[in-house]
Protein backbone atom coordinates (compact mmCIF):
# COMPACT_ATOMS: atom_id res chain seq x y z
CA UNK A 1 0.00 0.00 0.00
CA UNK A 2 1.39 3.40 -0.95
CA UNK A 3 2.63 5.70 1.82
CA UNK A 4 1.68 9.21 0.64
CA UNK A 5 3.69 12.19 1.99
CA UNK A 6 1.26 14.39 3.88
CA UNK A 7 1.81 17.46 6.08
CA UNK A 8 -0.84 16.02 8.45
CA UNK A 9 1.50 13.14 9.22
CA UNK A 10 4.62 15.23 9.74
CA UNK A 11 6.17 15.65 13.17
CA UNK A 12 5.26 18.83 15.00
CA UNK A 13 7.04 20.62 17.83
CA UNK A 14 4.48 21.82 20.39
CA UNK A 15 6.53 23.76 22.92
CA UNK A 16 8.86 21.13 24.36
CA UNK A 17 6.64 18.24 23.25
CA UNK A 18 7.36 16.44 20.00
CA UNK A 19 4.11 15.29 18.38
CA UNK A 20 4.60 12.44 15.93
CA UNK A 21 2.05 13.99 13.61
CA UNK A 22 -0.29 16.98 13.41
CA UNK A 23 -3.48 14.98 13.89
CA UNK A 24 -5.07 15.22 17.29
CA UNK A 25 -7.83 13.11 18.79
CA UNK A 26 -10.37 15.62 20.10
CA UNK A 27 -12.27 15.06 23.31
CA UNK A 28 -14.99 12.42 23.18
CA UNK A 29 -17.30 11.84 26.11
CA UNK A 30 -17.95 8.09 26.13
CA UNK A 31 -19.68 7.50 29.47
CA UNK A 32 -17.56 4.51 30.52
CA UNK A 33 -16.73 5.66 34.06
CA UNK A 34 -19.81 3.76 35.17
CA UNK A 35 -19.01 3.57 38.85
CA UNK A 36 -20.09 5.55 41.89
CA UNK A 37 -16.80 7.46 42.17
CA UNK A 38 -16.64 8.38 38.46
CA UNK A 39 -13.19 6.76 38.39
CA UNK A 40 -11.44 6.00 35.06
CA UNK A 41 -11.23 2.25 34.42
CA UNK A 42 -8.79 -0.20 32.82
CA UNK A 43 -11.17 -0.40 29.83
CA UNK A 44 -10.69 3.34 29.34
CA UNK A 45 -6.91 2.87 29.52
CA UNK A 46 -7.15 0.25 26.78
CA UNK A 47 -9.34 2.53 24.62
CA UNK A 48 -6.98 5.49 24.83
CA UNK A 49 -3.88 3.32 24.29
CA UNK A 50 -5.46 1.94 21.10
CA UNK A 51 -5.53 5.53 19.77
CA UNK A 52 -1.95 6.46 20.75
CA UNK A 53 -0.82 6.93 17.14
CA UNK A 54 -2.53 10.34 17.20
CA UNK A 55 0.04 13.12 17.59
CA UNK A 56 -1.85 14.12 20.73
CA UNK A 57 -4.92 12.73 22.52
CA UNK A 58 -7.33 15.01 24.36
CA UNK A 59 -9.16 13.17 27.11
CA UNK A 60 -12.93 13.22 27.28
CA UNK A 61 -14.33 16.25 29.10
CA UNK A 62 -13.54 15.60 32.78
CA UNK A 63 -15.23 17.15 35.82
CA UNK A 64 -13.17 19.56 37.91
CA UNK A 65 -15.35 19.09 41.00
CA UNK A 66 -18.44 17.28 42.26
CA UNK A 67 -20.38 20.51 41.59
CA UNK A 68 -19.44 20.64 37.90
CA UNK A 69 -21.26 17.45 36.84
CA UNK A 70 -24.15 17.10 34.36
CA UNK A 71 -23.86 13.94 32.23
CA UNK A 72 -23.81 10.30 33.35
CA UNK A 73 -20.68 8.19 33.79
CA UNK A 74 -18.27 10.97 32.86
CA UNK A 75 -15.06 10.74 34.91
CA UNK A 76 -13.79 13.39 37.28
CA UNK A 77 -10.32 14.49 38.32
CA UNK A 78 -11.00 15.74 41.85
CA UNK A 79 -10.56 12.64 44.09
CA UNK A 80 -7.47 10.50 44.88
CA UNK A 81 -9.21 7.47 43.33
CA UNK A 82 -9.83 9.37 40.08
CA UNK A 83 -6.17 10.45 39.96
CA UNK A 84 -5.13 6.80 40.36
CA UNK A 85 -7.53 5.79 37.57
CA UNK A 86 -6.13 8.44 35.25
CA UNK A 87 -2.58 7.24 36.04
CA UNK A 88 -3.53 3.94 34.38
CA UNK A 89 -4.73 5.83 31.31
CA UNK A 90 -1.71 8.11 30.93
CA UNK A 91 0.71 5.21 31.48
CA UNK A 92 -1.03 3.08 28.86
CA UNK A 93 -0.85 5.95 26.33
CA UNK A 94 2.77 6.75 27.14
CA UNK A 95 3.75 3.08 26.91
CA UNK A 96 2.46 3.18 23.34
CA UNK A 97 4.51 6.32 22.60
CA UNK A 98 1.52 8.69 22.72
CA UNK A 99 0.84 12.01 24.45
CA UNK A 100 -2.35 12.97 26.29
CA UNK A 101 -3.84 16.20 27.68
CA UNK A 102 -6.68 16.24 30.20
CA UNK A 103 -9.74 18.25 29.18
CA UNK A 104 -11.08 20.06 32.25
CA UNK A 105 -14.74 21.00 32.26
CA UNK A 106 -17.68 22.35 34.25
CA UNK A 107 -21.21 22.13 32.84
CA UNK A 108 -22.74 24.93 34.93
CA UNK A 109 -26.48 25.38 34.47
CA UNK A 110 -26.81 22.71 31.75
CA UNK A 111 -27.12 20.08 34.48
CA UNK A 112 -29.95 18.69 36.60
CA UNK A 113 -30.85 18.39 40.32
CA UNK A 114 -30.62 14.57 39.92
CA UNK A 115 -26.84 15.01 40.11
CA UNK A 116 -26.97 17.09 43.30
CA UNK A 117 -29.39 15.28 45.63
CA UNK A 118 -32.20 17.55 44.46
CA UNK A 119 -30.26 20.83 44.75
CA UNK A 120 -30.36 23.15 41.74
CA UNK A 121 -27.32 23.43 39.47
CA UNK A 122 -25.58 26.80 39.45
CA UNK A 123 -25.14 29.20 36.52
CA UNK A 124 -24.00 32.76 35.83
CA UNK A 125 -27.62 33.95 36.20
CA UNK A 126 -30.91 32.35 37.24
CA UNK A 127 -31.89 31.69 33.63
CA UNK A 128 -32.83 28.30 32.21
CA UNK A 129 -30.35 27.55 29.37
CA UNK A 130 -33.07 25.39 27.77
CA UNK A 131 -30.84 22.44 27.04
CA UNK A 132 -30.91 18.83 28.18
CA UNK A 133 -28.89 16.91 30.70
CA UNK A 134 -28.19 13.16 30.37
CA UNK A 135 -29.11 11.91 33.84
CA UNK A 136 -29.12 8.33 35.19
CA UNK A 137 -32.83 8.29 34.23
CA UNK A 138 -32.24 9.46 30.67
CA UNK A 139 -32.28 12.91 29.08
CA UNK A 140 -34.06 15.56 31.16
CA UNK A 141 -34.76 19.21 30.40
CA UNK A 142 -32.60 21.77 32.17
CA UNK A 143 -34.25 23.98 34.81
CA UNK A 144 -33.73 27.50 36.06
CA UNK A 145 -30.44 27.32 37.98
CA UNK A 146 -29.37 29.18 41.06
CA UNK A 147 -27.13 32.18 40.38
CA UNK A 148 -23.46 31.83 41.32
CA UNK A 149 -22.29 34.03 44.17
CA UNK A 150 -18.92 35.72 43.66
CA UNK A 151 -17.26 33.50 46.34
CA UNK A 152 -18.60 30.45 44.44
CA UNK A 153 -17.05 31.74 41.23
CA UNK A 154 -13.73 32.20 43.02
CA UNK A 155 -14.04 28.66 44.43
CA UNK A 156 -14.75 27.30 40.95
CA UNK A 157 -11.56 28.90 39.67
CA UNK A 158 -9.69 27.18 42.50
CA UNK A 159 -11.40 23.90 41.48
CA UNK A 160 -9.86 24.28 38.01
CA UNK A 161 -6.48 24.91 39.59
CA UNK A 162 -6.77 21.83 41.80
CA UNK A 163 -7.89 19.75 38.81
CA UNK A 164 -4.87 21.06 36.89
CA UNK A 165 -2.62 19.95 39.75
CA UNK A 166 -4.34 16.57 39.80
CA UNK A 167 -3.83 16.23 36.03
CA UNK A 168 -0.12 16.72 36.61
CA UNK A 169 -0.11 14.12 39.40
CA UNK A 170 -1.97 11.72 37.11
CA UNK A 171 0.78 11.96 34.48
CA UNK A 172 -0.98 14.01 31.80
CA UNK A 173 1.23 15.98 29.40
CA UNK A 174 -0.93 19.09 29.62
CA UNK A 175 -4.49 20.36 29.96
CA UNK A 176 -7.17 21.78 27.71
CA UNK A 177 -9.81 24.06 29.23
CA UNK A 178 -13.23 22.93 27.97
CA UNK A 179 -15.01 26.11 26.85
CA UNK A 180 -17.04 24.39 24.17
CA UNK A 181 -20.59 25.61 23.63
CA UNK A 182 -23.05 24.76 26.38
CA UNK A 183 -20.43 24.57 29.14
CA UNK A 184 -19.95 27.01 32.03
CA UNK A 185 -17.51 29.37 30.31
CA UNK A 186 -19.74 30.05 27.27
CA UNK A 187 -22.65 30.50 29.69
CA UNK A 188 -20.72 33.46 31.07
CA UNK A 189 -20.00 34.76 27.54
CA UNK A 190 -23.60 34.51 26.30
CA UNK A 191 -25.93 37.53 26.59
CA UNK A 192 -28.83 35.08 26.96
CA UNK A 193 -27.52 33.28 30.06
CA UNK A 194 -25.47 36.02 31.74
CA UNK A 195 -27.36 39.12 32.89
CA UNK A 196 -25.17 39.75 35.92
CA UNK A 197 -24.54 43.33 36.90
CA UNK A 198 -21.34 42.70 38.86
CA UNK A 199 -17.71 42.22 37.74
CA UNK A 200 -18.69 38.99 35.85
CA UNK A 201 -21.49 40.48 33.72
CA UNK A 202 -22.29 43.38 31.43
CA UNK A 203 -19.25 44.38 29.39
CA UNK A 204 -17.30 42.01 27.15
CA UNK A 205 -14.39 42.34 29.52
CA UNK A 206 -16.52 41.30 32.52
CA UNK A 207 -18.22 38.38 30.79
CA UNK A 208 -14.81 37.07 29.65
CA UNK A 209 -13.16 37.59 33.02
CA UNK A 210 -13.66 34.00 34.25
CA UNK A 211 -11.61 32.67 31.32
CA UNK A 212 -8.55 34.66 32.27
CA UNK A 213 -8.97 33.97 35.96
CA UNK A 214 -9.06 30.23 35.22
CA UNK A 215 -6.06 30.50 32.89
CA UNK A 216 -4.07 32.53 35.40
CA UNK A 217 -4.86 29.94 38.09
CA UNK A 218 -3.86 26.89 36.04
CA UNK A 219 -0.71 28.67 34.82
CA UNK A 220 0.50 28.59 38.41
CA UNK A 221 0.64 24.81 37.92
CA UNK A 222 1.56 24.26 34.27
CA UNK A 223 3.90 25.96 31.84
CA UNK A 224 1.80 27.94 29.34
CA UNK A 225 2.86 25.69 26.44
CA UNK A 226 1.10 22.78 28.21
CA UNK A 227 -2.21 24.67 28.55
CA UNK A 228 -4.82 25.05 25.82
CA UNK A 229 -8.45 26.16 25.45
CA UNK A 230 -11.26 24.93 23.20
CA UNK A 231 -14.09 27.16 21.95
CA UNK A 232 -17.11 26.60 19.70
CA UNK A 233 -17.93 30.19 18.72
CA UNK A 234 -20.60 29.31 16.14
CA UNK A 235 -22.59 26.49 17.77
CA UNK A 236 -26.27 26.84 16.97
CA UNK A 237 -28.01 23.48 17.41
CA UNK A 238 -28.19 21.73 20.77
CA UNK A 239 -27.06 24.75 22.78
CA UNK A 240 -30.48 25.95 23.91
CA UNK A 241 -30.60 29.73 24.16
CA UNK A 242 -26.80 30.06 24.07
CA UNK A 243 -26.64 30.77 20.33
CA UNK A 244 -24.18 33.29 18.89
CA UNK A 245 -25.35 36.85 19.58
CA UNK A 246 -24.33 40.29 18.35
CA UNK A 247 -21.52 40.35 20.90
CA UNK A 248 -20.01 37.01 19.87
CA UNK A 249 -17.59 38.33 17.25
CA UNK A 250 -16.34 41.33 19.28
CA UNK A 251 -16.13 39.09 22.37
CA UNK A 252 -13.88 36.60 20.58
CA UNK A 253 -11.80 39.43 19.13
CA UNK A 254 -11.25 40.66 22.67
CA UNK A 255 -10.47 37.15 23.99
CA UNK A 256 -8.05 36.33 21.18
CA UNK A 257 -6.23 39.64 21.54
CA UNK A 258 -5.65 38.87 25.20
CA UNK A 259 -4.76 35.23 24.51
CA UNK A 260 -2.03 36.43 22.14
CA UNK A 261 0.00 37.31 25.23
CA UNK A 262 -0.44 33.89 26.88
CA UNK A 263 1.83 31.70 24.67
CA UNK A 264 -0.55 28.76 25.12
CA UNK A 265 0.00 25.29 23.65
CA UNK A 266 -2.73 26.12 21.15
CA UNK A 267 -6.13 27.69 20.68
CA UNK A 268 -8.67 25.02 19.64
CA UNK A 269 -11.49 26.34 17.46
CA UNK A 270 -14.47 24.21 16.40
CA UNK A 271 -16.01 25.11 13.05
CA UNK A 272 -19.67 25.74 12.36
CA UNK A 273 -21.82 22.63 11.99
CA UNK A 274 -24.38 24.47 9.90
CA UNK A 275 -24.94 27.36 7.51
CA UNK A 276 -24.40 30.65 9.30
CA UNK A 277 -26.61 32.68 6.97
CA UNK A 278 -29.09 34.71 8.97
CA UNK A 279 -27.23 34.19 12.27
CA UNK A 280 -25.35 36.79 14.32
CA UNK A 281 -22.07 35.35 12.99
CA UNK A 282 -23.08 35.26 9.33
CA UNK A 283 -20.01 37.32 8.45
CA UNK A 284 -17.85 34.25 9.25
CA UNK A 285 -19.61 32.04 6.70
CA UNK A 286 -16.87 32.18 4.06
CA UNK A 287 -13.75 32.83 6.12
CA UNK A 288 -14.38 31.12 9.42
CA UNK A 289 -10.97 29.71 10.32
CA UNK A 290 -9.02 32.53 8.59
CA UNK A 291 -10.90 34.98 10.81
CA UNK A 292 -9.50 33.24 13.90
CA UNK A 293 -6.09 32.80 12.25
CA UNK A 294 -5.95 36.55 11.54
CA UNK A 295 -6.89 37.46 15.09
CA UNK A 296 -4.63 34.99 16.87
CA UNK A 297 -0.84 34.87 16.63
CA UNK A 298 -0.23 31.56 18.45
CA UNK A 299 -0.74 27.96 17.41
CA UNK A 300 -4.22 27.24 16.05
CA UNK A 301 -5.92 23.82 16.17
CA UNK A 302 -9.03 23.49 14.00
CA UNK A 303 -11.88 20.99 14.26
CA UNK A 304 -15.17 19.79 12.84
CA UNK A 305 -15.79 17.54 9.91
CA UNK A 306 -12.20 17.41 8.68
CA UNK A 307 -11.14 14.66 6.31
CA UNK A 308 -7.66 13.52 5.36
CA UNK A 309 -7.85 15.82 2.33
CA UNK A 310 -9.30 18.95 3.96
CA UNK A 311 -6.95 18.60 6.94
CA UNK A 312 -3.88 18.44 4.70
CA UNK A 313 -5.21 21.44 2.75
CA UNK A 314 -5.78 23.71 5.78
CA UNK A 315 -2.34 22.82 7.18
CA UNK A 316 -0.66 23.38 3.80
CA UNK A 317 -2.13 26.84 3.32
CA UNK A 318 -0.99 27.85 6.81
CA UNK A 319 -4.45 28.59 8.25
CA UNK A 320 -3.99 25.94 10.94
CA UNK A 321 -1.07 24.31 12.75
CA UNK A 322 -2.94 21.23 13.99
CA UNK A 323 -6.20 19.50 13.07
CA UNK A 324 -8.30 17.51 15.51
CA UNK A 325 -10.67 14.67 14.69
CA UNK A 326 -13.49 13.46 16.90
CA UNK A 327 -15.95 10.99 15.39
CA UNK A 328 -13.37 9.45 12.97
CA UNK A 329 -11.33 8.26 15.98
CA UNK A 330 -14.28 6.33 17.44
CA UNK A 331 -14.34 3.55 14.82
CA UNK A 332 -10.78 4.01 13.54
CA UNK A 333 -8.39 3.56 16.47
CA UNK A 334 -5.54 3.52 13.92
CA UNK A 335 -6.68 6.67 12.10
CA UNK A 336 -3.09 7.84 11.48
CA UNK A 337 -2.22 4.54 9.83
CA UNK A 338 -5.34 4.67 7.70
CA UNK A 339 -4.40 8.13 6.47
CA UNK A 340 -0.78 7.11 5.91
CA UNK A 341 -1.73 4.17 3.72
CA UNK A 342 -4.91 5.70 2.26
CA UNK A 343 -7.05 2.95 3.76
CA UNK A 344 -10.85 3.21 3.94
CA UNK A 345 -12.42 4.46 7.16
CA UNK A 346 -14.95 2.56 9.26
CA UNK A 347 -18.20 4.13 10.48
CA UNK A 348 -19.04 4.34 14.17
CA UNK A 349 -22.33 3.40 15.77
CA UNK A 350 -23.93 6.36 17.63
CA UNK A 351 -26.07 3.93 19.67
CA UNK A 352 -22.94 2.88 21.60
CA UNK A 353 -21.39 6.33 22.07
CA UNK A 354 -22.44 6.68 25.72
CA UNK A 355 -23.31 3.10 26.70
CA UNK A 356 -21.04 1.33 29.18
CA UNK A 357 -18.97 -1.63 28.03
CA UNK A 358 -16.49 -2.53 25.32
CA UNK A 359 -19.02 -2.75 22.49
CA UNK A 360 -18.55 0.25 20.20
CA UNK A 361 -15.64 1.33 22.40
CA UNK A 362 -12.58 -0.94 22.39
CA UNK A 363 -13.81 -3.52 19.87
CA UNK A 364 -13.40 -1.51 16.65
CA UNK A 365 -10.69 -3.35 14.66
CA UNK A 366 -7.58 -1.76 13.18
CA UNK A 367 -6.95 -1.98 9.48
CA UNK A 368 -3.45 -3.36 10.23
CA UNK A 369 -3.80 -6.55 8.26
CA UNK A 370 -4.68 -4.60 5.11
CA UNK A 371 -1.57 -2.43 5.41
CA UNK A 372 0.98 -4.92 4.09
CA UNK A 373 -0.68 -6.81 1.28
Ligand X SMILES: Cc1cc2nc3c(=O)[nH]c(=O)nc-3n(C[C@H](O)[C@H](O)[C@H](O)COP(=O)(O)O)c2cc1C
Report DSSP letters for 94-138, one per residue.
HHTT--EEEEEE--TTSS-GGGTTTPPPEESSS-----EEEETTE
CB 181 → ligand X: shortest distance, Å? 9
Query: Looking at beta carbons only, is 44 or 125 nearer to ligand X?
Result: 44
Judge contact between 269 and 26, C-beta under 8 A: no
CB 103 → ligand X: shortest distance, Å? 6
CB 33 → ligand X: shortest distance, Å? 12
Query: Looking at beta carbons only, is 111 or 125 nearer to ligand X?
Result: 111
CB 27 → ligand X: shortest distance, Å? 3
How far apart are alpha carbons 296 and 222 in whole angstroms? 21
How far apart are alpha carbons 320 and 307 in whole angstroms? 14
Query: Looking at beta carbons only, is 43 or 327 nearer to ligand X?
Result: 327
Query: Looking at beta carbons only, is 88 or 183 nearer to ligand X?
Result: 183
Query: Looking at beta carbons only, is 182 or 298 nearer to ligand X?
Result: 182
CB 234 → ligand X: shortest distance, Å? 12
Q: What residues form DSSP beta bridges with 61?
A: 103
CB 269 → ligand X: shortest distance, Å? 10
Residue 254: Cβ within 10 Å count: 17
Q: Which residues of 183-222 are buried (b: 16+ CB within 10 A; e: fewer)?
A: bbbbbbbbbbbbebeeebbeeeebbbbbbebbbebbbebb
CA 283 to mean position of chain CA atoms = 25
Query: Looking at beta carbons only, is 181 or 281 nearer to ligand X?
Result: 181
Query: Looking at beta carbons only, is 144 or 348 nearer to ligand X?
Result: 348
Residue 350: Cβ within 10 Å count: 10
Query: Looking at beta carbons only, is 82 or 180 nearer to ligand X?
Result: 180
Residues 6+ apart with CB under 8 A from 25: 51, 54, 56, 57, 58, 324, 325, 326, 329, 335
CB 273 → ligand X: shortest distance, Å? 8
CA distances from residue 44 to 78, 134, 165, 174 in whole angstroms, order as listed: 18, 20, 21, 19
CB 202 → ligand X: shortest distance, Å? 27
How far apart are alpha carbons 262 and 219 in whole angstroms? 10
CB 267 → ligand X: shortest distance, Å? 13
> In the complex, which residue's CB is closest to ligand X?
326
Query: Looking at beta carbons only, is 112 or 230 nearer to ligand X?
Result: 230
Judge contact between 43 and 33, C-beta under 8 A: no
In sequence order, which ranges of the chain are alpha helices (DSSP H)?
A: 42-50, 80-95, 150-169, 184-189, 204-218, 248-259, 288-295, 308-316, 327-331, 335-340, 368-371
Count H helices, E strands: the chain? 11, 14
Binding site for ligand X (CB under 6 A): 26-29, 60-61, 103, 178, 180, 230, 270, 303-306, 325-328, 353
Query: Looking at beta carbons only, is 53 or 125 nearer to ligand X?
Result: 53
Judge contact between 210 and 158, C-beta under 8 A: no
Residue 31: Cβ within 10 Å count: 18
CB 75 → ligand X: shortest distance, Å? 10
Amino acid sequence: MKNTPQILLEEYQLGDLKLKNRMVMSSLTRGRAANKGLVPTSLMAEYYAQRASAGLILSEGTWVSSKSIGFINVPGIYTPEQIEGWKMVTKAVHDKGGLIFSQLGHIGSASHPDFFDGELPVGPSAINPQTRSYTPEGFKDSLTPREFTVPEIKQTIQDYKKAAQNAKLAGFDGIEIHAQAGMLIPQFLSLATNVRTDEYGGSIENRSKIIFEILDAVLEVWDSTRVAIKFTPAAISNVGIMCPDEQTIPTFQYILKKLNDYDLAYLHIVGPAEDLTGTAVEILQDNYFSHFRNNYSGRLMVNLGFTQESANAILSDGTADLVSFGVPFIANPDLAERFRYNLPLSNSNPATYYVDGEDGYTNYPTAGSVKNP
